[in-house]
Structure 1
């Protein structure tokens, strides 16, 4: 029994070593090779959540303007969605997996170009930035998709560009942001569909001043 367990452990360790090797190769491609001076200045600011506060405020104002009192439950669900994404990623998955960030790994950090002031001490998998932003984007796409038309996919592009920045500045591996994105898409989908079924899809205000 012990030999079988040891063999199983060796197998999974070998699989993880292979996956981790590929992950680190893509990290080095993004963080070390596909670089330029503009991105070096751009991504440290672009990836910051505070950078996007004016966009969130504008979105809330736009929602209230177009949907009036119906906007209140939407804003509440939006905030809940982001909170669940953040807590599930930060408080559960990061603690469960305990993966070191590339800029914290003593066997790897000498290869990392760290473009932010400090390397966060929290775990690396999954990326909370990825979970939160893909959760927001997915919730918006599902609940407001009929008003956004073909432009709804721009929200996923926006989320993807932010999490690409997380790898570029050296604080996450590609697998971290992919995992976070899947978490965000899953929670955003569940939240958006629940909102549409239980609260009801948003309808534009019929007053003369209403409308997107």
Structure 2
């Protein structure tokens, strides 16, 4: 049964990846690069400082930086433990894919999907009572994660499990953050 799931995962990736065309390639190469999302991160930092003030806001920003560092290391640990080849390195399907980049690290789980979802859900939990449109930040991980399928460097399961992991980690992290925040700022 597991082999069947893996095979369907590969077939779905080939289908989704081949929906792309050269006209959109440069767009998705920009989307997949974290640097180009900097205005979003700066906007979130602005909202945090505006909502919580400098002292408490600085603590929240520090928590966000720790979140990203933890998430990155956590996904690398899983990738190295599982050792699943990236699609662009999988001899069975790589010739069927449109690949624009060729990372050599492992595939499962997607660090892009996990970290962007972790970040976004945590920000929503922090700011949802202050800003009703905070939920729009969920577009970030969805678009960011899809870029990895478009580029042929992650399987749909890598993305799906990464998103799920990001949601779970964000809820746990938020719970722990609130406990510490209450001790420090109450």
- The normalised TM-score by structure 1 is 0.80
Give the CA deviation at 1:143.
1.1
Q: Aligned pair 1:196/2:178, yes or no? A: yes
**1:198, CA displacement in angstroms?**
2.8
Residue 107 of structure 2 corresponds to 124
Offset of residue 134 of structure 1 = 0.4
User: Using the alignment, how far apart are the partners of 2:111 and 2:39 within structure 1?
Assistant: 20
User: Which deviates more from structure 2 when the two are superposed, residues 128-137 or residues 152-161?
Assistant: 152-161
CA apart distance, 1:62 = 3.4
Q: Which runs of 5+ in 1 are unaligned?
A: 1-14, 204-212
Query: How large is the RMSD of aligned CA atoms in angstroms?
Result: 1.7
4+ runs deviating over 3 angstroms: none
Q: Which moved more, 1:59-68 or 1:15-24?
A: 59-68
Question: Is 1:133 matched with 2:119?
Answer: no
Select the residue among 40, 65, 68 that pairs with 1:55. 40
Determine helix, strand or coil for the equivalent of 1:100: coil
- Among 98, 102, 124, the residue aligned to 2:87: 102
> Using the alignment, how far apart are the partners of 2:84 and 2:110 within structure 1?
11
- 2:65 is the alignment partner of 1:79: yes
What TM-score, normalized to structure 2?
0.91
1:30 corresponds to: 16
- Matching of residue 174 in structure 1 with residue 174 in structure 2: no
CA contact (8 A) 1:138 1:185 kept: yes
Question: Which residue of structure 1 lines up, in the alignment, with residue 168 of structure 2?
Answer: 186
Structure of higher CA gyration radius: 1
Alignment partner, residue 144 of structure 1: 127
Unaligned 5+ segments in structure 2 are none
CA deviation vs aligned residue, 1:10-49 (integer Å, no higher than 9, x gap):
xxxxx221001111121012101x2244432211111111
Equivalent residue of 2:129, what SS?
A: helix
What is the CA–CA distance in structure 1 between the aligned matches of 2:105 and 2:22, rounded to whole Å?
28
Asked if 2 retains the 8 angstrom alpha-carbon contact of 1:77 and 1:191, the reply is no
